[in-house]
Amino acid sequence: MTSQPTLTDGTVTLRPARSPDPSRLAFYVVLGQDQTIGTTTVVLTDPGTAALGVDLSERARGHGYSVRSLRMLVDWCLAAKRDDGLGLERVEAWIPENDERALIVATRVGMRREGVRRRVRDGGEAPEGHVVLARLATDPPLTEPGAFRSLLNSFLPRKRAIAQMLVRSSEQGEPRVLMCQLTYKTDWDLPGGVVEVNESPRIAVAREVEEELSLTLDAGCLLLTDWLPPWNGWDDALCLVFDGGTIDPGDLDGLVLQAREIRSVRLCTLAEVREHATDFTARRVEAALAGLRGEGPGYTESGHAL
């Protein structure tokens, strides 16, 4: 059975409590000499991993005792056995998405947000999600500036970015824009795609165009930033439209399309864009063309100028 020491930071003391389950280690949370205000638990799950929990009385909440208790528990769990710790590699917490207080506590303990674990509620209702947060033995101490930045980076909001390219026909007359008929939706769209993590949007759009159309084009200046609200199962996103220059209509004959995503491509008039694309995509194309002429709004929301 794992030996449980008494832990203290000078204000809060964790005293070992009896537990019939050897995989569940419990501590009383004590103030002063004998004022018990709750319990904390360490549940040993996978090898080298434990899930932590804290349950304080209502009167003891809001004073920082949960943070103090869990910090001691985390340090003990991750400390090497030669230093009288558990020698674990990872401690984690699963917290309901709507429990803001518990999420703040876990963050102050130094746990980084890793994602959301979903499960179906009893009775088949809408799934409930638990935020998974964890701290590893190899994570730097919280006193280091880099540790705090990494912690913030794990839970601050992230925005999906999409980079697209406005490519026009080199022929004179009515403007014609390169549009893609996609395999995974019925409406047509400009060539481009999602920007990868830590990737430049300019590089991303050139990469996507080459991968999907076998066209090697440099992305020119930014013509439009369009915010896309949540839609049809997608989270919101920023769409960045870059100038892709012009191509000869005959160049389309030699394209090698990525069959998994692209059915066909066409240089479309604005009337054809409105026919084949969603209304907000059509508005985005028109706003980008206006930006090319130096008349565009620069920023739109769902294609609408503000």
Residues 17 and 113 placed together within one structural domain of the fold = yes
CATH number at residue 234: 3.90.79.10
Write out the residue range of the structural domain in which residue 145 sits.
7-155
Residues 149 and 165 placed together within one structural domain of the fold = no
- What distance in Å separates the CA atoms of residue 202 and residue 244, rounded to the nearest whole number? 10
Tally of domains within the chain: 2
Would residue 256 count as lying in a domain? yes
Residues 30 and 134 placed together within one structural domain of the fold = yes
- What distance in Å separates the CA atoms of residue 134 and residue 93, rounded to the nearest whole number? 6
Residues 150 and 164 placed together within one structural domain of the fold = no
Would residue 141 count as lying in a domain? yes
Between the alpha carbon of residue 12 and those of residues 50, 76, 102, 261, the distances in Å are 22, 15, 19, 58
Helix, strand, coil content of the chain in percent (nearest 5): 25, 35, 35
Whether residue 1 has pLDDT greater than 80:
no
Residues 120 and 197 placed together within one structural domain of the fold = no
Query: Could you read off the pLDDT of 169-213 as tens digits, one per residue?
Result: 999 889 999 999 999 889 999 999 999 999 999 999 999 999 999
Residues 172 and 292 placed together within one structural domain of the fold = yes
Residues 22 and 41 placed together within one structural domain of the fold = yes
Domain limit, last residue, from 155, 185, 211: 155
Would residue 265 count as lying in a domain? yes
- How many residues in total does the chain contain? 306
Residues 105 and 217 placed together within one structural domain of the fold = no
Domain limit, last residue, from 124, 155, 186: 155
Residues 164 and 43 placed together within one structural domain of the fold = no
Confidence of residue 124 (pLDDT cuts 50, 70, 90): low
Whether residue 148 has pLDDT greater than 90:
no
Residues 111 and 29 placed together within one structural domain of the fold = yes
Whether residue 236 has pLDDT greater than 80:
yes
Residues 70 and 191 placed together within one structural domain of the fold = no
CATH number at residue 13: 3.40.630.30
Would residue 2 count as lying in a domain? no
Q: Per residue, what are the HEC states of 131-174?
A: EEEEEECCCCCCCCHHHHHHHHHHHCCCCEEEEEEEEEECCCCC
Pick the range with the lowest mean pLDDT from 24-28, 184-188, 230-234: 230-234
Would residue 66 count as lying in a domain? yes
- What distance in Å separates the CA atoms of residue 62 and residue 77, rounded to the nearest whole number? 25
Tokens of 301: 């929301």
Would residue 1 count as lying in a domain? no
Residues 295 and 164 placed together within one structural domain of the fold = yes
Confidence of residue 33 (pLDDT cuts 50, 70, 90): confident
Report pTM.
Answer: 0.76
Domain limit, last residue, from 104, 137, 155: 155
